[in-house]
Amino acid sequence: FGLSNKFDTEFPSVLTGKVAPEEFKTSISRVNACLRKNLPINVKWLLCGCLCCCCTLGCSLWPVVCLNKRTRRSIHKLLEWENNRLYHKLGLHWKLSKRKCETSNMMEYVILIEFLPKYPIFRPD
């Protein structure tokens, strides 16, 4: 369903001077822990759903869809918490985004780190 089982913990060079590498690694580790907790259950339901797919006319895959949606929602909540805790104060915004794979037409989820525009606070309204 496009959701990765683990995100890379390597510190991107673009964030040098914006975020401490330790903070970045901690945030990615939290996301990976959430995935590590939820994905084994999703795989078991996917295998069960695929085995029973012909008998149930595809209805056996609904639990997998719901579990995948729940996993995405929990990652969204985690990233919002991280944004409110630290990254919005640093002028960054993390979000989970759906993108097309470079090698095929399949879709995948990636974590985007966007730079928030600086507001001119000394300008009159």
Residue 40 lies inside a defined structural domain of this protein: yes
Residue 123 lies inside a defined structural domain of this protein: no
Residue 1 lies inside a defined structural domain of this protein: no
Residue 108 lies inside a defined structural domain of this protein: yes
The number of distinct structural domains making up the chain is 1
Helix (H, G, I), strand (E, B), or coil: what is residue 58? coil
Phi (first) and psi of residue 61, to 5 degrees? -90, -10
**Residue range of the domain that includes 106:** 18-115
pLDDT of residue 41: 74
- Look up the pTM and report it: 0.80
> What are the tens digits of pLDDT across the range 49-103?
777 777 777 777 777 778 888 888 999 999 999 999 999 999 999 999 888 877 7
> What are the tens digits of pLDDT across the range 4-21?
778 888 999 988 988 999
Residue 26 lies inside a defined structural domain of this protein: yes
Residue 100 lies inside a defined structural domain of this protein: yes
Residue 125 lies inside a defined structural domain of this protein: no
Contact assessment for residue 82 and residue 101, using Cβ atoms and an 8 Å cutoff: no
Residue 5 lies inside a defined structural domain of this protein: no
